[in-house]
């Protein structure tokens, strides 16, 4: 979702660009129809206004019943208020008959599967709200040193500097001259998580659940009125997008706004993944010789990034746990540039990132399909 202010320049263009944002294949698309949080004006971007804005966003999400709608989507709620476990079974790769709620209540394995689904799936349902700010490039060059680092990174991609490491503060004058007029973009990302625990799950299954082949007007009404479900703020993270334009560009203003909005959103997600353990970057291995995964610069991969390899272990009661079987380090010579529109002017044919093996055990412990999770 994104925050939209009536008085902001390019608000309609930004909204259209945001609507075109492609959901990464690493995530299940759990959108519930709402895309925008609309405010008349921005209360402010200073640190002093952070808590005010956090509360405004949280209150708006609550007013839209986003948490309840997310639960309804997880359990395929129909127009009569009934539920099923089809989506949970599909995403969790469970046996549909074993995870049937009515049957699960009567046997330990079924109860374990319900708990496992809550822990592995429902508990890991997130909402990201992006608050975009467009900055004049002349202001950008004068910003704090961490912002200049980002500008230099973009300049390096354009061939202005050979590498980010060669950048000096004197380079900022050249950056300003080459970038010319235009805008950069900052996204303040707010990460929320659906609150789900044993107590909430128990109340849902016992007080609100009934299957789609039943009719229960009382439970249907209770679900519509319940305050049981809520979103909790995990944290916030600023991120900067690439510079929108240079004097060499031939793209229209609308195209540049679209590219900047999408890249800023990707950058914010990448920073959130690094900052918060509950949102750590995870992806399946697509090969093991060499180890490779379809993640790259869009996910914020850098030289030296390290991942643990996780082997799923299914227990007799149906629960799934993960065993660490190895450690991989990003191959700095083979990082996939999968940022939006990166293919333009890029001769690289990489379609994945490869890793160097730093195993705890034998390489035979690793297999395609195992998850890798960033640890550093």
SS3 per residue for 201-262: HHHHHHHHCCECCCCCHHHHHHHHHCCCCCEEEEEEEEEECCCCCCCCCCCCHHHHHHHHHH
Q: Burial letters for 232-244: b for 16+ Cβ neighbours within 10 Å, e otherwise?
A: ebbebbbbbbbbb
R_g (Cα) of the chain, nearest Å: 23
Q: What is the model's pLDDT at position 245?
A: 57
Q: Report CA-CA distances (Å) from 135 to 138, 140, 224, 264, 366.
A: 8, 6, 42, 13, 46
> How far is 81 from 72, CA to CA, in rounded Å?
9
Give the integer Cα–Cα distance in Å for 371 and 124. 16
Q: How many CB atoms lie under 10 A from the CB of residue 319?
A: 16
Q: For 280-376, CATH number?
A: 2.40.10.410
pLDDT at 154: 47
The structure tokens 């297999």 sit at 367
Helix ranges, 93-206 (H): 101-104, 108-120, 137-142, 145-157, 171-179, 198-203
Chain mean position to CA 191: 9
Neighbours of 270 (CB within 10 A): 21
Residues in the chain: 376
> Helices 171-179 and 145-157: crossing angle, nearest 10°?
60
Helix, strand, or coil (residue 189) = strand
Q: How far apart are CA 59 and CA 374, in angstroms?
A: 32
CA distance 34 to 263: 21
| Residue 299 DSSP label | G
Query: pLDDT averaged over consecutive 10-residue blocks of the chain (376 residues)?
Result: 81 86 84 87 70 92 96 96 91 72 71 78 94 72 51 45 43 51 79 95 94 95 97 92 62 82 90 92 91 90 91 80 91 88 63 80 77 89
Q: Is 318 exposed, middle or buried, given 0-12, 13-18 or 19+ CB atoms closer than 10 A? A: buried
User: Residue 362: its pLDDT value, please?
Assistant: 53
**What pLDDT is attached to residue 360?**
53
Q: What is the pLDDT of residue 139?
A: 63
Q: What is the largest CA-CA distance in the chain?
A: 72
| Beta carbons of 305 and 374 less than 8 angstroms apart | yes
Tokens 């272990």 map to which residue?
Answer: 313
Cα separations in angstroms, 361 against 128, 252, 331, 352: 37, 53, 20, 24
Tokens linked to 141: 């060059």
């Amino acid at each position: 979702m994104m925050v939209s202010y009536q008085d902001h320049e390019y608000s309609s263009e930004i909204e259209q660009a945001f609507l075109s944002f492609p959901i990464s294949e690493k995530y299940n698309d759990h959108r519930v129809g709402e895309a925008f949080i609309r405010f008349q004006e921005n209360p402010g971007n200073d640190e002093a206004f952070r808590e005010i804005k956090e509360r405004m966003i949280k209150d708006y999400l609550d007013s839209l019943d986003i948490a309840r709608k997310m639960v309804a989507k997880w359990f395929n709620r129909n127009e009569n208020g009934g539920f099923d476990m089809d989506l949970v079974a599909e995403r969790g790769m469970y046996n549909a008959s074993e995870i049937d709620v009515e049957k699960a209540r009567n046997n330990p394995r079924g109860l374990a599967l319900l708990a496992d689904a809550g822990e592995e799936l429902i508990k890991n349902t997130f909402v990201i709200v992006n608050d975009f700010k467009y900055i004049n490039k002349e202001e950008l060059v004068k910003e704090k040193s961490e912002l200049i680092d980002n500008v230099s990174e973009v300049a390096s991609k354009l061939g202005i500097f050979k590498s980010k490491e060669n950048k000096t503060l004197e380079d900022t004058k050249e950056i300003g001259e080459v970038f010319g007029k235009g805008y950069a973009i900052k996204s303040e990302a707010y990460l929320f998580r659906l609150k789900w625990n044993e107590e909430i799950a128990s109340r849902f299954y016992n007080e609100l659940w009934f299957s789609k082949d039943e009719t229960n007007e009382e439970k249907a009404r209770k679900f519509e009125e319940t305050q049981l479900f809520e979103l909790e703020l995990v944290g916030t993270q600023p991120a900067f997008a690439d510079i929108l334009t240079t004097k060499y560009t031939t793209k229209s203003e609308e195209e540049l706004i679209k590219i900047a909005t999408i890249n800023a959103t990707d950058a914010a997600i990448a920073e959130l993944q690094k900052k918060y353990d509950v949102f750590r970057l995870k992806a399946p291995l697509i090969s093991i010789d060499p180890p490779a995964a379809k993640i790259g610069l869009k996910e914020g991969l850098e030289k030296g990034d390290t991942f643990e390899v996780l082997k799923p272990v299914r227990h007799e009661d149906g629960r799934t746990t993960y065993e660490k079987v190895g450690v991989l380090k990003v191959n700095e010579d083979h990082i996939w540039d999968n940022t939006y529109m990166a293919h333009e002017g890029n001769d690289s044919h990489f379609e994945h990132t490869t890793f160097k093996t730093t195993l705890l055990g034998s390489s035979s412990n690793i297999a395609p399909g195992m998850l890798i999770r960033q640890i550093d």
